Amino acid sequence: MNDLMPAKALVVLSGGQDSTTCLYWAIKKFAAANVSSITFDYGQRHRIELDCAREVAALAGVENTVLPINTFSAIGGDALTDAEIAVSSKVSEAGLPNTFVPGRNLIFLTFAAAFAYPRAIENIVTGVAQTDYSGYPDCREDTMRALETALNLGMESSLSIHTPLMHLSKRETVELASELGALPAMALTHTCYNGERPPCGRCPSCELRARGFAEAGIDDPLVRKS
């Protein structure tokens, strides 16, 4: 960053609660005019996520680019991209639920960095968190720091990966969203693993979201609206 050019930021926007909170965090830190968003069409079974991301970005007044990277479903073996596999809260021997898409965040962030490079964007913001989650190893702080180092070595860049939610509980994430004025956008987000709208309220993702709002003492505008 130098004095002449404003710092620009790219938010990885999935259309869910966490990435929407990150979008508003980035707007506060970098100003809306310097923020853009990227959404990955990775063959997810819930196409509604792409609409949600577009609507959230439009409400926040930032650009949204959808990048097609439809390769995960060809790899198969996870419940988020393989229509043959039902979402389950059961965990594998490695302690991971079947919603784990191996390497997903590494690939997302690598594409985000490649997208950022020609646009002189030096900040990438992602909603990964190692607290309260399903234990996805690609959401952890040490993974993010190692990836940032690898990307900067591989592109001779000075990219920063920002993870504002890394150590926040779901309750704290809801409180942050409220402080940032992101609650109206929450009505447009999508979190349900079963792809239902209004949300099913039963899947692990819905339960986690509901618990976060309940603990924060804040009504979820998505649920209230429905």
Q: What is the dihedral of CA 213, 216, 218, 223, to 10 degrees?
A: 10
- Please select the residue that binds Zn ion; options are 38, 56, 62, 192, rule is CB under 5 A: 192
Contact 155, 113 (CB under 8 A): yes
Residue with smaller CB distance to Zn ion, 30 or 193: 193
Neighbours of 45 (CB within 10 A): 17
Task: Name which of 148, 144, 194, 191 is nearest 165 in CA terms.
Answer: 144
Binding segment toward Zn ion, per CB under 5 A, in 13-21, 50-58, 105-113, 195-203: 195-203
Residue with smaller CB distance to Zn ion, 17 or 37: 17
Neighbours of 191 (CB within 10 A): 22
- Please select the residue that binds Zn ion; options are 29, 115, 194, 221, rule is CB under 5 A: 194
- Please select the residue that binds Zn ion; options are 32, 48, 200, 214, rule is CB under 5 A: 200
| Residue recorded with tokens 């999935």 | 14
Binding segment toward Zn ion, per CB under 5 A, in 32-40, 72-80, 166-174, 204-212: 204-212
- Please, is 100 exposed, middle or buried when counting C-beta atoms within 10 Å of its C-beta (0-12, 13-18, 19+)? buried
Q: How far is the CB of 197 from Zn ion (least distance, A)?
A: 10
Binding segment toward Zn ion, per CB under 5 A, in 36-44, 57-65, 76-84, 196-204: 196-204
Binding segment toward Zn ion, per CB under 5 A, in 25-33, 135-143, 148-156, 206-214: 206-214
| 203 is a contact residue toward Zn ion (CB under 5 A) | yes
Count interface residues toward Zn ion (CB under 5 A). Answer: 6
Residue with smaller CB distance to Zn ion, 32 or 223: 223
Contact 49, 37 (CB under 8 A): no
Per-residue binding string, Zn ion, 42-61, x by CB under 5 A, is --------------------
Residue with smaller CB distance to Zn ion, 57 or 192: 192
Q: What DSSP letter does each residue of 88-131 carry, written as one string?
A: ---B-TTS-BTT--TTHHHHHHHHHHHHHGGGT--EEE----SS
Contact 13, 23 (CB under 8 A): yes
**What residues line the site for Zn ion (CB under 5 A)?**
192, 194, 199-200, 203, 206
